[in-house]
Chains A and B, each alone.
Chain A
Amino acid sequence: MPSVPLNMPKMSMTMEEGTIVEWQVAEGDAVASGDVVAIVTTDKVDMEVEATATGTVEKILHASGAIVPVGDPIAVIESEQEDLLGDILSPTPTAPPLGRVIAAPLARKLAKEAGIDLAAVTPTGSGGIIRARDVRDVIDQDSRTDVRAGSTAGIDPRVANAPTVTSAPAATAAMTSSLTDGELVGDARSRRLRVSTAAVMSASAAIPQFTVERRLELDATARARRAALNGVGWTTLMVRAYAMMLRHFPLLGGSFTAEGVRAHDRVGVALAVDTPAGLLAPVLRDPDQQPIRELDAAIRQLAADARAGALRPDSMAGATGTVSNLGGLGVRRFNALLTPPQATALSLGSIAHRVEVAPDGTFTAVLGCDVGLTVDHRAADGADGARGLQFLQELFLDPLMLSV
């Protein structure tokens, strides 16, 4: 019987190596082609590695935690298939995974109201559709069932799927925490994300960086947003404006190297998304060159994928800047830290009316947002950052520039 090597798969365009998170099989186990045998992480995204042949796991070549280059063998499978052509001639009947849950509108509404994760509801409708009655069945089951996030009293609906969230409000949950001294907080995936973030931020700490702040006036854009800008979200407009800025200022849009700042011929804006497992920053490619409505939809999809743990690895690469928004959590302003080798990061506070004194001494309510632009001082200077913010303000005063 032939031995077939199982290699580290290339799961994204930019993947060069992967870390084995865990083996789900042991030497001597029987596997079928398509079975998940290991979990591999790359660029913060966990991926399943499937057996490429049916047979027995003969040898595991790298233990959990090992970093293996793409294409190198990680295990050997002793295949029972004498004729490998047979594999080619009999197509595997596995259906491609659907990108989203299929459910009737009422099922979605009921699930949302009850804090139920639709992905955990068993569909009984034809074609795998979740019917309203399927959700009602789950509601009718007792409230201890683990698909109930029960976060109706929680502060942030985005953590509704987190397995650690209980039915108590977040503050109460913290007070009644049952963690013992020294116990690791969170599940394995969220801990891996913490370690990954720690590595990036430790590298960031070695970079001399400063933050320039400015309050952007948004009244003109607010007026245009409903009509001319098709009602797109503020995040979309901020990402768009930031991308235009990165394109316009090569020092801010580039990366510092020992020889100087190297320009990028693309703009990639990483959008920091708060997910149940922790911070993820999927990347929007050239968001200054996409129709604004498409960008709006792409941002919503990317954020939803991030929260659902459904990001593709190649959506994590290629960023030339990062946008963080804590305004939705009531934060007025903050300064984000750089993600090397990006030269800037944009932090967004809450969008709110603030009383301003007009030149004639009268008071007016002005809609605005406190933003901070964190800059790699090796790449650019304070005045460069200030000009970048000036550029953003000019865009928001002439918002049709954002829709082109």
Chain B
Amino acid sequence: MREMTYAEAIREAMATAMSKDDRVFLMGEDVGRYGGAFGVQNDLIDRFGPERIRDTTISELGTVGMGVGAAICGMRPIVEIQFSDFTAQAMDQIANQAAKLHFMVGGQAHVPLVIRAPGGSGTGAAAQHSQSLEAWFAHIPGLKVVMPSNATDAAALLLAALEDPNPVIVLEHKLLYKRTFQVPDEIPPAMLGVGHIERPGTDLTVVATGVEVSRAVEAAEVLAGEGISVEVIDPRTIRPLDKAMIIDSVKKTGRALLVQEAVLTGGFMSEVAAVIAESDAFAYLAAPVKRLCGLDIPIPYNPNLEKAAVPQVEDIVRDARILVEEW
């Protein structure tokens, strides 16, 4: 094992992929000389040159469109969107081209495009640079959606995304870039669509994504001290979703707390709640399924309000206690 940050792990994975496969290259705003808005690329331009680490104009639609074209022509492009909020600019290429072309041409073409885009709040970037938009992408058939919550997954799932013949969007988290994790010396192979039980437990299932996974684990440790045993599940990819893992866990615990940073209404955890309600786990429910999500507001700039707008460790502890003690 070794210590490395989430950003370093992503950089290493991109370097590994580019070393092994000439078809892999990177495009994005400030990914070259500047090293990336969050320093993810750092010195990659010195190692791979400006042909493969390509700075682009401030035109997300054009960049993703180039990525789609390159992918169809046999390349393995990675497009970095500086803030996932800016995917709104590129949505036509993402939703209508990348995700649909394979089907529109009767399977004659593949679009092996990987889009990396950091989301989430907590950096004081305010309402236009702090959103968690995974539900948008999970609603598009033809697109796979990855949300790595730690450095190992960030590297392993990026490599898995590059091997996938279809478009994958990897929603990284800004707060995690500089966080240090224990990472295996060799990145283990990963599969899209397989969740991970971060911590086993018997009283309550917490399904969490992105930055909320580590908060859920921290909450589980607090609750363990109170005699409440929490199982924390990180789906890792939300589309395809590892439904079986979630259903099996809820059948075991009888309670589900679904935690996401994104706003409540129309969020991905609503989908998870529906998956549970429609499954045979329904009959095992001892308590109502509970969503703990971001408030239905634009992320505030004020740091105290920004923190209050999304689930924190103490929020998870509070809701978990209610579900276990009152039911």
Contacts and interface: CB of A to CB of B under 8 A. Distances in A.
Interface in B201-250: none
A273 to B, nearest CB: 25
Contacts of B254: 106, 132
Interface of chain A, main secondary structure: helix
Nearest to A105: B285
B283 interface: yes
B285 A106 contact: yes
The listed residue with most A CB atoms (<10 A of its CB), out of B283, B286, B287, B326, is B286
A92 interface: no
B103 interface: no
Interface residues of A, number: 11
B283 A131 contact: no
Interface string B288-309: 0000000000000000000000
Q: Size range of the interface on B?
A: under 10
A105 B254 CA distance: 9
A387 interface: no
Nearest to B281: A105
Contact of B327 (A104, A108, A109): A104
A274 B287 CA distance: 34
Contacts of B283: 105-106, 108-109
B34 interface: no
A391 B287 CA distance: 50
Contacts of A104: 285-287, 327
Contacts of A131: 286, 327
Interface string A86-127: 000000000000000000111111000000000000000110
Contacts of A126: 326
A121 to B, nearest CB: 14
Interface in B249-305: 254, 282-287
Interface in B171-206: none
A132 B282 contact: no
B49 to A, nearest CB: 60
Interface in A54-111: 104-109
Nearest to A106: B286
Nearest to B251: A106
B324 to A, nearest CB: 11
Nearest to B283: A109
A27 B185 CA distance: 91
A104 B283 CA distance: 9
A105 B276 CA distance: 12
Contacts of B286: 104-107, 131-133
A106 B326 contact: no
A116 to B, nearest CB: 15
A63 B72 CA distance: 92
Interface of A: 104-109, 125-126, 131-133
Interface of B: 254, 282-287, 326-327
Given A106-B285, A107-B286, 16 more contacts: A104-B285, A104-B286, A105-B282, A105-B283, A105-B284, A106-B254, A106-B284, A106-B286, A108-B283, A109-B283, A125-B326, A125-B327, A131-B286, A132-B254, A132-B286, A133-B327
